[in-house]
Amino acid sequence: MPSKKIVCCGGASMNFAGMYSDIISKKILNGSEIVIYDIDRERAELMAKYVQKLVEIVGGNFRVRVINNLIEAIDDADFVIGDIGGVGGGGGGFYHPGGIHSKDLLICAKYGIYQIIGDTCGPAAMMAAFRTIPIYLNIWNKMEKKCPNAIFINHANPMAILCRAGHKYSSIKSIIGICHGVQSGIRYIAEILNLPPEELETIWIGTNHYYWFTKIYYKRKDKYPELKKKMAQKQPPKNYTLHAKLSKIFGYQIVYPDDSHIIEFYPFLAQIKDINHLPYYLSESHHGNEVLKIYTKKRNFPINRGKIVADFKKFLDNSIKNFIEKLGNSTYQNKNGATASKKRNPLFESIGALVESIATGERKVCIVNIPNRSSVPNLPDTAILEVEGVTDFSGVRGLYMGEAPLILKGQLEKIIAWQELVVDAAVKGDRNIALQALMVDPVAILPDKSEKMFNELLTNSKSFLPQFKI
């Protein structure tokens, strides 16, 4: 069994709680070392105790350490997992309604762009990339020296932009992005077709959070005609209305079913009067909801460190309680002799499964964000697409997904160009390239307003943007 060093950068992020349980649930990784690297030492220590508790529950012998020094943390690592996002989610300073990312959304709204999430596209996602890319570049630079053969797995947004930055501006051999959007889409259409999702054969084309099914088969039978018929007869959920309308017009089913992501890829959000006049209902449960309240209620949201830590402890306690029943397909015996197992749908986002298959060299099909490299031959070769890939010791190789139909090709090429401009602007600290990205963006506004908005966005992130002269 392989004993690997798995380094988790941003390892005190709440997102990592599920990833740790996923990794520890893979018996073949037992004996590996998990290193938690995070600038928040207090939360990192709390997370380490949580991970150690998981190890005790499964009766494993993982070594768990918190290391403050990045060079020491990644030295001789086999896998480095990054979840350091300029959109936040871990420390409460970004997605917190009074945080930096939330203020980005407010600035965009001031200029008539009412972003809902802002973690993938639009001006807010661009700023998130500007904050994160320098941090990732520093990690990749250190990896080139201390663990040049390590696999880097990205779990942060904006997914495609961060992965593209790594492939373009570092020599890391394998950078893989992992998300859950496609899996969600497969489960959604499987429910409509009343078929087991793991038995559907699907092909989709697109970049992270923005893709369409081009083929849907079940036991060699084309199920697309049936899906279209059922979708035409079905009243979509309120927060899937745009999804349904666009799928009908395009002739291809959009994969990511929730409108809150989809709507940000179109100019609709720059065409409305105010946040109370959104063209479609958006789910109240999505993670930008608190920010929407700020649009209509002028309130102060001070960041309370004590509450953040208390909430974090409570979150970890609840995660421990739920861990045993979420172990997945494997069965473990804990220190009290009790066993726990739970069959799990194979269509889920699993960093543990990805690490396990690469560590063992097992050829396993997975859903990943990687460079196109002819998976979709009529899209740019360097574009980061979300595709099916097959694992081996060296990482993941993309499978052939087919050509993008014209309507999808046109949509994607513009988004890919925007992603490339954002990457270059972030690395070079180039204001003009950033303005070019804002002009290519589907929610583009007049150039003079765009420049004023950009200046305010830069000021909001001033302390996080060493590459820009502010």
Tell me which residue range forms the domain holding 31.
5-177+306-346
Question: Treating both helix axes as pointing N-terminal to C-terminal, what angle do 122-146 and 159-169 enclose, rounded to 10 degrees?
Answer: 40
Residue 223 contacts residue 216 (beta carbons within 8 Å): yes
Domains identified in the chain, total number: 1
Taking Cα atoms as reference points, which of 24, 32, 157, 22 lies closest to residue 84? Answer: 157
Residue 301 lies in a domain: no
Residue 104 contacts residue 125 (beta carbons within 8 Å): no
d(CA 421, CA 164): 11
d(CA 185, CA 216): 12
Amino acid at 448: D
Residue 64 lies in a domain: yes
Residue 225 lies in a domain: no
Taking Cα atoms as reference points, which of 438, 388, 375, 371 lies closest to residue 129? Answer: 438
d(CA 166, CA 423): 9
Residue 83 lies in a domain: yes
DSSP, collapsed to helix, strand or coil, labels residue 33 as strand
Residues 6+ apart with CB under 8 A from 272: 114, 278, 279
Cβ-based neighbour number of residue 14 at 10 Å:
18
- For residue 53 the two structure tokens come to 């508790």
Residue 76 lies in a domain: yes
Q: What is the CATH number of the domain that holds 34?
A: 3.90.1820.10
Residue 292 lies in a domain: no
Residue 164 lies in a domain: yes
| pLDDT tens for the chain, residues 1 to 470 | 578 999 999 999 999 999 999 999 898 999 999 999 999 999 999 999 999 999 999 999 999 999 999 999 999 999 999 999 767 544 445 666 668 998 999 999 999 998 888 999 999 999 999 999 999 999 999 999 999 999 999 999 999 999 999 999 999 989 999 999 999 999 999 999 999 999 999 999 999 999 999 999 999 999 999 999 999 998 888 889 999 999 999 999 999 988 988 999 999 988 888 877 877 766 665 555 667 676 666 666 677 889 889 999 999 999 998 887 766 544 444 443 333 333 334 455 689 999 999 999 999 999 999 999 999 999 999 999 999 999 999 999 999 999 999 999 999 999 999 999 999 999 999 999 999 999 999 999 999 999 999 999 999 999 999 899 87
The model's pTM is 0.93
Residue 9 lies in a domain: yes
- Position 335 scores a pLDDT of 40
Residue 65: enclosing H or E segment and its boundaries? strand 63-66
d(CA 379, CA 373): 9
